[in-house]
Amino acid sequence: MQNDLKERTKKFAISIIDLVEKLPNTISGRAIGNQLVRSGTSVAANYRAASRARSDREFISKIGVVVEESDESGFWLELIGEKKWMEVSNLIKESNELTAIFVSIVMKVKSRESKK
């Protein structure tokens, strides 16, 4: 599963980059694009970092960042969709699914920690 999520988050990051390159070259398009490319690529980068965590505590901390970044990506994508700049429903869906997966992982690890 870990490698599947590494590939899935990397694919998400690439899709975000591809989308941002097509946004309008306006002040708002560039501003939202900058924010989205940071948060969207951060999902993959921070998940990779989390997979190398040395403890459950460190893992939970790093996955918490992944949750925040995937949720933030969803926000920027919603703005793009609501501005009708382009169709982003598939990326919003993926962002929501990734957020849910990582929240679930955090809950499982926290539950395991509390039983120790």
What is the set of domains in the chain, with CATH numbers?
2-114 (1.20.1440.60)
Which of the four pLDDT bands, split at 50, 70 and 90, describes residue 114?
confident
* pLDDT tens-digit readout, 50-74: 999 999 999 999 999 999 999 999 9
Would you state the pLDDT for residue 4? 94
Is residue 14 pLDDT above 80, yes or no?
A: yes
Is residue 1 pLDDT above 70, yes or no?
A: no
Q: Judge whether 43 and 70 are in contact, CB under 8 Å.
A: yes
Would you state the pLDDT for residue 115? 73
At a CB cut-off of 8 Å and minimum separation 6, what does 107 contact?
Answer: none
CA distance 25 to 3: 36
Structure tokens at 28: 């708002």
pTM: 0.92
